[in-house]
Chains A and B, each alone.
Chain A
Amino acid sequence: MSVSVLIPSALRAFVDRKSEIEAEGATVGEALAHVAAQYPDLKHQIYEDDAKLRGFVNVFVDGTNIKKLNGLETPVAAGATVMIVPAIAGGY
């Protein structure tokens, strides 16, 4: 199952400056793992050591946050768009 994974600007340095990567997988987790296997530096940025996504990483499938679906187990259809989106906060 081929899907498009959109990479936010802050993470493009770890994927040869690409903004979009084709990946294979039946679930969001498999598609992200496929990308991470191709780009180990990206893997370090988005995963904790135990293969959980880091806290700042949000993932959307065709516009819906996977937190509202089935997380990394969310199935993806051929041609789906998987988007990695960083959480942004700050203040003093």
Chain B
Amino acid sequence: MRGVLGFLAPKLLRALVAVWLVTTVVFVVMRLSGDPVPLLLPPDAPTSEMERVRRDLGLDRPLPVQYLTFVGNALRGDFGRSIHFREPAWSVVVRYLPATLELGLTSFGLALVVAVPIGMLSAIKRNSPIDQAAMGVALVGQSAPTFFLGIFFILTLSLWAGWFPTSGRGSWEHLVLPAITLGAFSMASIARLTRSAVLDVLRQDFVRTARAKGLPELTVVMKHTFKNAALPVVTITGLQFGTLLGGAVVTETVFAWPGIGRLAIQSIYNRDYPIVQCTVFLSAILFIVLNFAIDLLYGVLDPRVRPR
């Protein structure tokens, strides 16, 4: 048990420091970005009214006090009231969260389901036309800018082919294009990495032994190679999730998908600090929790990194 603690404690500490840093940076940047009060009131509002609103929002207090209040409240999930929606920021963000999770998990699942088999196939049939075509597409997918990919899909698959709606959320058809757009980068990275990880393993002596004793190639790949190649794939998969969260901002904007990414962008334009802080805080936490989980999974997959 102590060994496990010794293994986890430093990681946990680092994760907490990261969360704190992220929160602080968000606070500072948002507070620097100007006074939201004039945006909330008509331009001819009297000064006394502006003062009252400022006091209501706690903006009249010294910055350090605002900061401490902010951190204390954030720990309790209280990010204050949204200036634009006039309700607690937390409940607004939570309302937008399912759309983002739906999109994020779909594209993540799609990326994994498509990329891992393709990467394995590419490795097994290396330098074949299949391999070269797959890796060519992967290279393009990895360097294609998300926003243009989205526009391109809207143009070709929605407007020209008429297969999918151009924007919005609703039926499963609405989900297809945003999910592919958002997942493209991860799909490409995971496919390329799976390929090189499998190739690495295929070169090992134990694979040669397995082949030498006459095992069918399928058994060699499924039983001896896949498990050993999983480690780097799991690592990059965790990192990809962070990229997905960032990509959601762009994808949701392109497809008018009502998730927290689009909410964050709109809130920045509205200078709605509480919402922005809440979304960023939530994304950072999600990312950190996920990487923590991946560290644990690592221990399961690779006994060598397990604490003794």
Question: Do they bind each other?
Answer: no
Interface set of A (CB-CB < 8 Å, partner B):
none
Interface set of B (CB-CB < 8 Å, partner A):
none
